[in-house]
Structure 1
Amino acid sequence: MKTIIATAAVLAAAGPACAGKIALEPLIDARIRYEHAEQDGLPDTADALTLRLRGGVQAGSGAWSALVEGQGTLAAVDDYFDGLRGAATRPLVADPQSIGLYRAQLRYKSKALTLTAGRQRIAIDDERFVGAVGFRDNGQTFDALRVEWTGLPRLKIDAAYAWSVRSIWGIDGRGARQQAVSGDNVFVTIGYATPIGTLAGFAYLVDQDEAAVQGFALSSQTYGARLSGSRALSRAVRLSYVLGYARQSDWHRNPNAYHADYHLADATLDIASFKVDLGYEQLGASHGAALTSFQTPLASGFKFQGWADKFLTTPPDGVRDIHAGAGHGWKKAGAFDLIAIEATWHRFDSDRLGRHYGDELDLLVTARVGRTTLGARYADYRAKRFATDTRKFWLQADWTF
């Protein structure tokens, strides 16, 4: 409510600045998804059929724009544990029913400066540290002030202060799965374009200031650097690469004292309509106690360490993920504008004590026709020394206006 009132006040104050011609743009985003999950150790399977609708309007005049967007998620078939309701004898499908305000923001955008205030999506780089959690129906937004500046050639400064994180658990969130987590979060990235790619330094200060959320143990300070770029090897072949390193330690009210490292190396080779990817990601461990390994509580976690979601919270002994993938795409295939297939294999090991956690195979088929995107995906996690065997299957359709 504080955010709604503050945003309304800012919009009212900005009225004179927006007194010129106002352009209105509707915002409509619809999704239907079926998810099936089987997990060894649980007696029942999960079946979830959810419908998600977002709707709103954006008004713009010159450099100014204002946006308001609501969101609702309905479980048409609710034979699953959503983290808040349902029987925990079934696997978790983190899409609880909800309705509420998704975004309410005011933006000023010029050639060199963008200022965004209010409830907003924030997705930084590949969303490894701060993201919108776009795969989950309710998504993640931030009550924040964000400044993006590109006033010097090849330089970009991106800084945000967020006082509340609106979680994927929706209006009924409670306990360890809060509707929102307050705190003084600061995200700063400074990037510079070099001949070999964009070199960025970053600082992420995460303040999870709710005792019910792991007793403040997810508050951390992370400092690091990232290099991302691509290079044409021939007319039909392009190499893309990402290298990253970060160091994380406890911050604010975190009761633990720890240091943990992060390493990333990833390379993708695009050969005409084919692609091949090979990568290594390490979320390091400290001394083997719970929540003293490298944690990323604000990330779009589904994008990393496999779709079975076994490593959304990094284990006490950390995780090393060696992954390899391949894919192929077809443009203008029959009635479809695009069809793509991809497969990725993961090997998971601990960072500390050298244990083999398990392996995972992920498969994806997507198709796009007009404003509609269709998808089918499958995840198969085979446990060795961490968690249990898990299989998941999804069918999904998204439509955006």
Structure 2
Amino acid sequence: MKIRMTPIALALLACASSAGAGENLGDLFRDGKPILDLRYRYEHVDQDNALNNANAQTIRTRVGFQSGKWYGLSGLIEADNVSRIGDASYNSTRNGQGDYSVVADPDGSEFNQALLRYDFALGNAVAGRQRINLDNQRFVGGVAWRQNEQTYDGVLGQLKPIDGLTLTYAYIDNINTVFGPDDNRFDNRTNPANIDGHSHLLNAQYLFSPALTVTAYSYLLGLDNLANAPAAPFGSLSSKTTGLRFTGALSGLSYALEYARQTDYADNPLELSSEYYLAELGYSLSSVALKAGYEVLGGDEGPGNRAFQTPLATKHAFQGWADIFLTTPADGIKDSYLSASMPLLGGTVTGMYHDYRAELGSSHYGDEINISYARPIPLLKGLTALAKYARYDADNANVDTDKLWLQAQYSY
């Protein structure tokens, strides 16, 4: 069996082997930490259409080991198993239950992360299967809400040449999506288990002060076997997204301002040209946090869906928990939202409201209410419980949707 080593992985090994003899190789194991994470979830989906209501019970078991460091060198290995409990009365996208609403948590086991890392005075480098979360995960994230987390095969380097400046570059040649670990006859072009291609992520962030952080980025996504609709051509989600983000907080006030432009990239058969805007203002008073925002993903009148898309984002965190707009409509979308969170009975309660409208034209897509309550369970350290609800009321698009989640998670 041949083992292919990436150039960065070879460089990491070279750095470690050339170090002096002042540290003990046994530190890798003696200072290591086992990983154990168990997450049970019940998810109910009720949609105003011909599909049967979904009722899914799943448990995600994660085990692994994070090593200690030896001259800056460390490693991590982590494996996940997602298993159904009870009847398969839901469409996991792989189980053939197409008469039910979708709960995208297929059964299966795979390595979630397997990486080699090298930390040095001015930054770090990582090679292998890894978690990548950039900024607020609007464009690149791990989709940790789903039972099978999205991780990336490739190399990532971070450089911090001066105080406040962080430069990040990543090359990705495979993406392990939430729909994995396996494909079968029930998948389609929008939900492969693995996305092949060649992608480059560039991100530069400078912290001027707590009141101002500026981030510039360019994400070049070559997604060869992915499409924006089941009948759309492969590569129709390959794109170049370049933008600028401003964030900060001062005296209880916080803000985020962002602009990005998206064009086609690699072998995308569509000519893309759309824009993204975000304006968000938050205020914290004692333990109550309030936020209002306006987010726009631009549409395009050309043939096919040429709207602004975010195929690698942690989408569940944006545009409502009902996940109605995982693919941006061709006319784009404008999301006006309000949120509030506060402590309650030892936990935290959060509420959100969204109003969705087309970016092109006057269509009203509907509105949505989200409510959640999360609380640590005092009987066992590391155990938390979550109850969460989303109600989407459709107007001129999609169907009315209600979703309910009950979850318990233990992390060691």
Task: Give the structure-1-normalised TM-score.
Answer: 0.92
SS class of match (1:297) = coil
Aligned to 1:39: 47
CA contact (8 A) 1:67 1:103 kept: yes
| Partner AA of 2:84 in structure 1 | A
Q: Does 1:162 align with 2:172?
A: yes
Q: Which moved more, 1:43-52 or 1:164-173?
A: 164-173
- 1:332-358 Cα offsets, whole Å, 9 max, x none, are x5xxxx401011000000000121110
SS class of match (1:157) = strand
Aligned to 1:279: 293
CA contact (8 A) 1:290 1:315 kept: no
Q: Residues of 2 paired with 1:183 and 1:319: CA distance?
A: 28
Report matched runs for 1:50-65 at 5 Å.
50-62=58-70, 63-65=72-74
Deviation of 1:226 (Å): 0.2
Q: Which moved more, 1:304-313 or 1:9-18?
A: 9-18
Q: Does 1:19 align with 2:5?
A: no
Q: Pick from 30, 39, 48: which aligns with 2:38? A: 30
Q: Does 1:97 align with 2:107?
A: yes
SS class of match (2:32) = strand
Report matched runs for 1:193-208 at 5 Å.
193-195=207-209, 196-208=211-223
Deviation of 1:360 (Å): 0.4
- 1:12-46 Cα offsets, whole Å, 9 max, x none, are 77774673632221011110000000011124100
Change (3 A) 1:42 1:272: same
Aligned to 1:363: 371
Q: Does 1:251 align with 2:265?
A: yes
Aligned to 1:399: 410
Aligned to 1:230: 249
- 1:259-282 Cα offsets, whole Å, 9 max, x none, are 000000111111111111100000
Report matched runs for 1:137-152 at 5 Å.
137-152=147-162
Q: Residues of 1 paired with 2:269 and 2:202: CA distance?
A: 24
Q: Residues of 2 paired with 1:29 and 1:100: CA distance?
A: 15
- 1:209-239 Cα offsets, whole Å, 9 max, x none, are 116774210000000000011001xxxxx11
Aligned to 1:76: 85
Q: Does 1:374 align with 2:385?
A: yes
**Poorly superposed stretches of 4+, deviation over 6 Å:** 11-15
Q: Does 1:326 align with 2:340?
A: yes
Share of identical aligned residues, percent?
35
Q: Residues of 1 paired with 2:331 and 2:302: CA distance?
A: 5
SS class of match (1:84) = coil
CA contact (8 A) 1:240 1:267 kept: yes
| Partner AA of 1:340 in structure 2 | T
Q: Which runs of 5+ in 2 are unaligned?
A: none
- 1:102-144 Cα offsets, whole Å, 9 max, x none, are 1100011134211011000000011000000000000100001
Q: Residues of 1 paired with 2:313 and 2:226: CA distance?
A: 20
Change (3 A) 1:125 1:61: same
| Partner AA of 2:282 in structure 1 | T
RMSD: 2.1
Q: Which moved more, 1:170-179 or 1:307-316?
A: 170-179
Aligned to 2:137: 127
| Partner AA of 1:256 in structure 2 | L
| Partner AA of 2:354 in structure 1 | H
Q: Residues of 2 paired with 1:89 and 1:47: CA distance?
A: 12
SS class of match (2:296) = strand
Q: Residues of 1 paired with 2:104 and 2:304: CA distance?
A: 23
Aligned to 1:386: 397
Deviation of 1:179 (Å): 1.7
Q: Residues of 2 paired with 1:343 and 1:290: CA distance?
A: 35
Q: Residues of 1 paired with 2:33 and 2:201: CA distance?
A: 30
Aligned to 1:346: 354
- 1:270-323 Cα offsets, whole Å, 9 max, x none, are 111111110000000122543300000000010000011110000000000000
Aligned to 2:281: 267
Question: Aligned residues, how many?
Answer: 389
Q: Pick from 114, 123, 127: which aligns with 1:117? A: 127
| Partner AA of 1:397 in structure 2 | A
CA contact (8 A) 1:81 1:90 kept: yes
Q: Which has the higher strand share?
A: 1
| Partner AA of 1:400 in structure 2 | S
SS class of match (1:79) = coil
SS class of match (1:125) = coil
SS class of match (2:181) = helix
| Partner AA of 2:175 in structure 1 | V
